[in-house]
Amino acid sequence: MDNQDFLNHLKDMSEYQDQIVHIEHISPTRTITGELDTPLHPSLMSAIDGLGLLPLYRHQATAINAVRDGKDVIVATASASGKTLCYNLPVLETILNQKQSRALYLFPTKALAQDQIRTLGNLISGMDVDIDHSTFDGDTPYDQRGEIKRAAHILLSNPDMLHLGILPNHQQWSGFLSRLKYVVIDEAHVYRGVFGSHLSNVMRRLRRICAHYGANPQFILCSATIANPQDHADKLIGLPCELIDNDGSPHGKKDFVFWNPPTIDVHKTKRRSSNSESMFISTELISRGIRTLTFAKTRRLTELIYIYIHKQLSQSAPDLADRIKPYRAGYLPEDRRLIEQQLFNGELLGTVATNALELGIDIGKLDATVLTGYPGSIASTWQQAGRSGRRKGSSISFLIGVDNPLDQYFMQHPDVFFEKSHESALTNQGNPHILDPHLLCAAWELPLKARDSRYFGKRFEEAIEGLVSDDRLRKRTRGWYLSPQIDYPAQDVNIRSSSSDNFVLVDASKDYELLEIIDSAKAFFQIHTGAVYLHQGDTYLITKLDLSNKTAYAEPTKVPYYTQPKDHTDISITKPLHKKHTGGVYVVLGEVEVTTRVLGFKKKRVMSEDLIGEEALDLPPQVFSTIALWFDLPANMSKELARQGLDWAGGLHATEHAAIALLPLFALCDRNDIGGVSTTLHLDTEKPQIFIYDAYPGGIGIAEKGYELIDQLWEVTLQIINDCPCEDGCPSCIQSPKCGNNNQPLDKQAARIILGTLLKS
Answer yes or no: is pLDDT of 26 > 90.
Answer: yes
Q: How is 141-172 classified by DSSP, letter by letter?
A: -HHHHHHHHHH-SEEEE-HHHIIIIIGGGGGG
pLDDT in tens, 208-251: 999 999 999 999 999 988 889 999 999 999 999 999 999 999 98
Phi and psi of 474, rounded to 5°?
-130, 140
Cβ atoms of 518 and 528 closer than 8 Å = no
Answer yes or no: is pLDDT of 369 > 90.
Answer: yes
Answer yes or no: is pLDDT of 481 > 70.
Answer: yes
Cβ atoms of 168 and 445 closer than 8 Å = yes
CATH class label, 42-244: alpha beta
3-class DSSP state of 666: coil
The torsion of the CA quartet 734, 739, 742, 748, rounded to 10 degrees, works out to -20
Residue 79: per-residue pLDDT:
81
Q: What is the mean predicted confidence (pLDDT) over 5-23? A: 96
Among 540, 501, 558, which Cα is nearest to 524's?
A: 501
Distance of alpha carbon 510 from alpha carbon 553, whole angstroms:
11
Distance of alpha carbon 59 from alpha carbon 458, whole angstroms:
35
Answer yes or no: is pLDDT of 536 > 90.
Answer: no
Fold held by 3-18+254-419? Rossmann fold (3.40.50)
Q: How many other CB atoms are found less than 10 A from the CB of residue 245?
A: 15
Answer yes or no: is pLDDT of 708 > 80.
Answer: yes
What percentage of the chain carries pLDDT values higher than 70? Answer: 97
Q: What is the mean predicted confidence (pLDDT) over 451-470? A: 96
Range from 125-134, 233-242, 439-448, 667-676 carrying the lowest mean pLDDT:
667-676
Answer yes or no: is pLDDT of 528 > 80.
Answer: yes
Residue 518: per-residue pLDDT:
87
Cβ atoms of 349 and 291 closer than 8 Å = yes
Distance of alpha carbon 158 from alpha carbon 109, whole angstroms:
7
pLDDT in tens, 80-111: 899 999 999 999 999 999 999 999 999 998 87
Residue 290: per-residue pLDDT:
93
C-alpha 656 chain-centroid distance: 23
Q: How many other CB atoms are found less than 10 A from the CB of residue 518?
A: 20
Q: What's the per-residue H, E or C state across 482-504?
A: ECCCCCCHHHHCCCCCCCCCEEE
Distance of alpha carbon 380 from alpha carbon 351, whole angstroms:
18
Range from 33-42, 463-472, 516-525 carrying the lowest mean pLDDT:
516-525
Q: What's the per-residue H, E or C state across 87-112?
A: HHHHHHHHHHHCCCCEEEEECCCHHH
Range from 191-195, 236-240, 478-482, 573-577 carrying the lowest mean pLDDT:
191-195
Q: What is the mean predicted confidence (pLDDT) over 536-544? A: 88
Residue 238: per-residue pLDDT:
97
Residue 500: per-residue pLDDT:
59
Answer yes or no: is pLDDT of 448 > 90.
Answer: yes
Check residues 553 and 605 and name the one with the higher pLDDT.
553
Answer yes or no: is pLDDT of 121 > 70.
Answer: yes
Residue 199: per-residue pLDDT:
97
Distance of alpha carbon 173 from alpha carbon 447, whole angstroms:
18
Is the link from the previous residue into 55 a cis peptide, with omega within 30 of 0?
Answer: yes
pLDDT band of residue 360 (cuts 50, 70, 90) is low
Q: What is the mean predicted confidence (pLDDT) over 660-667? A: 88
Check residues 237 and 404 and name the one with the higher pLDDT.
237
Going by C-beta distance under 8 Å and a sequence separation of 6 or more, which residues neighbour residue 119?
A: 84, 88, 362
Among 561, 570, 569, 549, which Cα is nearest to 601's?
A: 561
Residue 494: per-residue pLDDT:
87
Q: What is the mean predicted confidence (pLDDT) over 567-585? A: 95
Residue 339: per-residue pLDDT:
86
pLDDT band of residue 364 (cuts 50, 70, 90) is low
Angle between helices 229-237 and 193-212 (to 10 degrees): 50
**Number of helices (H), then strands (E), in the chain:** 25, 27
Cβ atoms of 174 and 208 closer than 8 Å = no
Beta strands, E only, 2-125: 20-26, 73-76, 102-106
Residue 86: per-residue pLDDT:
98
Residue 630: per-residue pLDDT:
98
Going by C-beta distance under 8 Å and a sequence separation of 6 or more, which residues neighbour residue 334?
A: none
Residue 605: per-residue pLDDT:
87
Residue 377: per-residue pLDDT:
83
Residue 400: per-residue pLDDT:
98
pLDDT band of residue 611 (cuts 50, 70, 90) is confident
Among 594, 593, 612, 616, which Cα is nearest to 603's?
A: 612
Angle between helices 648-662 and 710-723 (to 10 degrees): 110
